[in-house]
Structure 1
Amino acid sequence: MTIRVVTDSTAYLPEGFADRHRVDVVPLHVLVDGRSFTDGAELGPAELVQALRGHAMVSTSRPNPEDLAERYRALLADGASEVVSVHLSRELSGTWEAACRAAERVGNVRVVDSRSTAMGLGFAVLAAARAAGEGQTGERVEAAAVETAERTATWFCVPTMEYLRRGGRIGTAAALLGTALAVKPVLHIEDGRITGVEKVRTMSRAKARLIDLASTAAGTGRARLAVHHLGAKDQATLLAEELAARLPAAAGVLVSEVGAVIGAHTGPGVLGVVVLPESVESH
């Protein structure tokens, strides 16, 4: 029995992780001034930052269900007995819905809503891939993704909520309030949606709150951590170092730049932290 794991490009796994864990990644699409690009392959973080700072019109779209169906068929034809397809929150994108439609056309495909994105999705994908590599059933691979996603917590801060407002990912009133008061919001992905935690006056204070929140979530035991950024490598590296010092029991800190799809909605300068406390079974 061979189970193959599929995800979308918003998992933003560190370089080499997808190949190493036999994860098949389907790109989402980014439109820049009406021209369509695939996330990561045709448009990377640097190009996105340049487009946003040049005031280009940037939007995103889900994969076509038929493209997903073709990917599933190819994996099944290549020897997979079943496919487990794990995606970003249905509250943030139509990707999960597209995957469900594709699965209905193909069969032998399980679709999982991670209720998150970035490494909140990525940790769930890697758990599924490990279960698949151990020869687990499709049901157990799916359960590994679901259980891991439920334990994962994600927080992030942005210099401005303007990009979230443009993309319809947060209320207009909240965006205007943030702009008017020149505050830096600390945000949380809760049950698949973006919610506000608090507003602070500086990005430095926002970063400190990310560390506090991550530390509380990780507790005193082992935890897996990830730091995300867009166009803010130095700040992300410093944040990772501070987290590692604050949480010596943590199993390292991954640093990964978000790509064009998530970056289009957060804007340059975003910093995020994802925490996955280890379960008792993982010891």
Structure 2
Amino acid sequence: MRKIILSTESGADLPEDLAARHNVQVVPMHVIMDDKDYLDGSLPVQEIYDYYDRTKNIPSTTSTNSHEYQEFFTKINADYPDCIIVHIGYTSKASSSFQHAVIASEEFDNLFLIDALNVTGGLTAIVMYAVNLLEQEPTLEPEQLVEKIKAIIPKSKLAFVPGSLDFLRAGGRVSNVAYLGGALLKLKPRIELIDGNLVSNKKYRGKMSKVSEKLMQDYLNQYDIDRKQLYLIYSIGLDEGIKQRMTEIATEHGFINIKWMQAGSMISTHSGPGGFGIAGLEV
């Protein structure tokens, strides 16, 4: 049977230890700062925050282009001759990356593309679902695997609160009026992926310690998340006490495996320092 290789983009924020352990191939997206193009993952996230402090601008981000995808898939084929590639992509509603993968796919007859309609921990949850499926059913046919992955996509639930309205404002994610109102009232928007789109559907008031706990409570009340795995996402600057408390709450709710993930350059560029998010799969 032909070996199945899973791949995704850096915007999944898939922890390096998981990618290495399960041989998931990751193609980098891009961050552009000071007129220099950096591959996502090659630039320390702190430099993005330092850049904003210095210029009051955020870096721009760009997707993986079709040529890069062609090189990426070609290398996988060279490393794993006669393999099947199943690529689980960053939402097409927020990036052109998936469309570029589609263009590159015309050169390959051993490639399946899946638009995961999610980002960061929500995308990682789908990738790790595929990893676990293959470990449990190593003889699973590629077509069956793809069907199962597509079926789980609507069940991947991601919610997060950005750490800084400054970054949302600088990136054009909220209007100046909304920004000023939020800053004055200490409001923080909850952002979710709805049908692949980033949607702000609620606001919390107060310090991040209070907001993160409220987000966790609302999320667990709203969604019946599979207790076998929960992904907690943070951007640099989130207080360690908050992380400890979120772990405690997740444990109290019966989650067996709780995995903390650091938001990479793509997500951090738009969410700012000190953000918190949750992702998991509904049962």
Give the one of 90, 108, 115 matched to 1:113: 115
Match of 2:199 in 1: 195
Match of 2:210 in 1: 205
The amino acid of 1:61's aligned partner reads T
Equivalences for 1:7-46 in 2 at 5 Å? 7-40=8-41, 42-46=42-46
Equivalences for 1:137-152 in 2 at 5 Å? 137-152=141-156
In structure 2, C-alpha distance between the alignment counterparts of 1:116 and 1:79, rounded to whole Å: 30
Q: Is the contact between residue 87 and residue 113 of structure 1 (CA under 8 Å) also seen in structure 2? A: yes
The amino acid of 2:156's aligned partner reads T
Match of 1:256 in 2: 261
Query: 1:161: Cα distance to partner?
Result: 3.2
Q: Is the contact between residue 13 and residue 261 of structure 2 (CA under 8 Å) also seen in structure 1? A: yes
- SS of the residue corresponding to residue 196 of structure 1 reads strand
Q: 1:87 to 1:125 in 2, by over 3 A?
A: same
In structure 2, C-alpha distance between the alignment counterparts of 1:218 and 1:28, rounded to whole Å: 30
Deviations 1:69-96 (A, max 9, x none): 1221222243243211111111111111
Query: Sequence identity, in percent?
Result: 25
The amino acid of 1:190's aligned partner reads I
In structure 2, C-alpha distance between the alignment counterparts of 1:64 and 1:34, rounded to whole Å: 18
For structure 2, the 5+ residue unaligned runs are: none
Q: 1:178 to 1:220 in 2, by over 3 A?
A: closer
Q: Is the contact between residue 31 and residue 61 of structure 2 (CA under 8 Å) also seen in structure 1? A: yes
Aligned length: 276
Q: 1:27 to 1:228 in 2, by over 3 A?
A: same
Q: 1:207 to 1:104 in 2, by over 3 A?
A: same
Match of 1:229 in 2: 234
The amino acid of 1:107's aligned partner reads D
The amino acid of 1:45's aligned partner reads V
The amino acid of 1:211's aligned partner reads M
**TM-score, length-scaled by structure 2:** 0.87
- SS of the residue corresponding to residue 72 of structure 1 reads helix
For structure 1, the 5+ residue unaligned runs are: none
Give the one of 276, 279, 282 matched to 1:271: 276
Query: 1:60: Cα distance to partner?
Result: 0.5
* RMSD of aligned residue pairs (Cα, Å): 2.3
Query: 1:235: Cα distance to partner?
Result: 4.9
The amino acid of 1:117's aligned partner reads V
Q: Larger deviation: 161-170 or 221-230? A: 161-170
The amino acid of 2:250's aligned partner reads A
In structure 2, C-alpha distance between the alignment counterparts of 1:192 and 1:158, rounded to whole Å: 18
**TM-score, length-scaled by structure 1:** 0.87
